[in-house]
Amino acid sequence: MRRIPWLLAGGLLAITLGACTVLVPDPDPVPSTLPTPDRLADLPADCPRSGGVAEPEGLGPGTEAQIAADLLAAVGDWANAGTAMVTNEPDWIGPGLPGHCLGDLAGLLGRIHGSALLATGGDETLVRFQAEMVKENLANLEAAKAQGRATNAKRELALMQQSSQSESGAFLDLIVRKLDNGSIQPDRMEEWMVIVAPDDTENLVFHLETKEAAHGFFSW
């Protein structure tokens, strides 16, 4: 009979220990060993190497509205790419900057952002769009250097006129507001005809045709 209290005590101890959780601190994150590409290394040798440019984000899966929002955000990032660097890095701000370097930077940024957004096997509309974006980005780089601050040009969705989506991709017919740096009034309204399709693990644009919207200027 004297063994019962010991058995009960042992059982209670086992229950108590079972209810306790030993807290073990999470291990410190292991730094990535993957090298960060030096994008500026592709510039001509007499252009600055100080600073850096952000990696563009591609298009993820989602509804037609989400794809449209991601696309316009990506185009806005492209339009303003590098403008923070040329206003913050002494080598880019200084008067000794060779005159061709901003143009070379815009071309490099066009290749970086174009490869993240546009399909290599897309149609001829992508060539025109990329050339237009390089030209727009260069104008913003020049404006940023002159005004001493980064630009914030952007595109906003005014109306989704038509859209559809299937396993093979998405079709979008958009009315888009184009707002230049610092403006609250649209520079113009554009109609975008877009085809986005999956390519391996990401979505890429296979067709992107822009033209001035026949609707005029929307106030909403």
Listed residue (76, 145, 65, 136) closest to 106, CA to CA: 136
Q: Is 111 within the bounds of a domain?
A: yes
Taking 60 as the threshold, does the pLDDT of residue 5 lie above it?
A: no
pLDDT digits (tens, 9 = 90+) for 114-140: 999 999 988 899 999 999 999 999 999
In a domain, 29, yes or no: no
Dist CA 74 CA 62 (whole Å): 15
Q: Are 103 and 86 in contact (CB under 8 A)?
A: no
Q: What is the CATH number of the domain that holds 95?
A: 3.10.450
34: in domain? no
Is 208 within the bounds of a domain?
yes
Model pTM score: 0.80
Question: Is residue 156 a part of any domain in this protein?
Answer: yes
Number of domains in the chain: 1
Report if residue 175 sits inside a domain: yes
Tell me which residue of 113, 116, 207, 129 sits closest to 169, measured CA to CA: 207
Question: Residue 204 sits in which domain range?
Answer: 57-212
* Helix %, strand %, coil % of the chain (to 5): 40, 20, 40
> What token pair was written down for 183?
């403006």
The average confidence (pLDDT) of the chain is 83
In a domain, 72, yes or no: yes
220: in domain: no
Backbone phi and psi for residue 52, each to the nearest 5 degrees, phi listed first: -170, 165
Give the 3-state secondary structure of residue 90.
Answer: helix
